[in-house]
Structure formats: structure tokens, C-alpha cells
Amino acid sequence: MTVELDAPIVVASGHHTRGALRIHNTGTDPIVIATNGQVTAQVVDPRTGQVVGRYAGFQTLPGIYFRADAGSTVVVPVLVGTASVSPDLGYVVPAGEWAIQVVLDLEEGEGSRGQSGADRPARRRLRAPLLPITVT
């Protein structure tokens, strides 16, 4: 699969924004991405790959799934926040050119059992390539 931004993401320092990812299924089997209605990105330093920021706030957790059949593309919302997790940066990610990383939870077949005993598909986590963002 390939993952890219649907449009450039620009976010004000100390704030959050939403954008979209275009996920193209280059395989032969369908892919299903499990979300809470969006994926939440982490802001990273593109030179080092170190996580420097994230969204700080609550999110509701409904199970929302995005499916891409073989050869098709799906657009998945992404949430980007600029609360700093790096003491060197202070409270917020400063203005500049940064990157985001997202981890996609992909549904895998049927038959795995959750702790509640209910049948649920297994999940596989996939880290997408870093994607550029601008913090203003």
C-alpha cells in the first residue's frame, strides 16, 4: 500500500488541525483500516525521526473502518496536534517544517478472540512513511 497526504497540512503552533491521508491498496486483497473516525498523527523531527509533538486532548472511540479493495484508494481523516513532548521545545512544537508519522491498525482475517471472548479479527500495525507538514 502507499500512503500520502490528500493535501498539504499547515497547522498553527500550539493548535491542532485535521487533514486527510490517501491510502492506495497496491495488493490483491482488500485492506481494512480500524480507526476512531480518524488516525492520530505524531509530529516528528524529519532529520532524526524523534517524536516531538502530538494531539493533547480526549477523543471518542467509536469503531470506524475504512476499506480499500485491491487497486482502489480510500481517504482517511488524520488529526495533527502540536503539543510538545520534548522538554527542549517547551510546551508547543515551534514554527517550521516538520513531519508526521501515523500508525495504521489493519484488520487481519477472522477468528482471533478478544479478552471478552467475542470473535474479532486480529490486527496488524503498520507505520506509514513520514509525511511533511508545516507548523506556522
The CATH number of domain 2-135 is 2.60.40: yes
Parse the chain into domains and list their residue ranges.
2-135
pLDDT digits (tens, 9 = 90+) for 98-132: 999 999 999 976 433 344 445 566 889 999 999 99
Q: How much is the average pLDDT of 22-44?
A: 96
8 A C-beta contact, residue 89 and residue 52: yes
Backbone angles phi, psi at 134, to 5 degrees: -120, 130
- Average pLDDT of every residue of the chain: 91
pLDDT digits (tens, 9 = 90+) for 60-72: 888 999 999 999 9
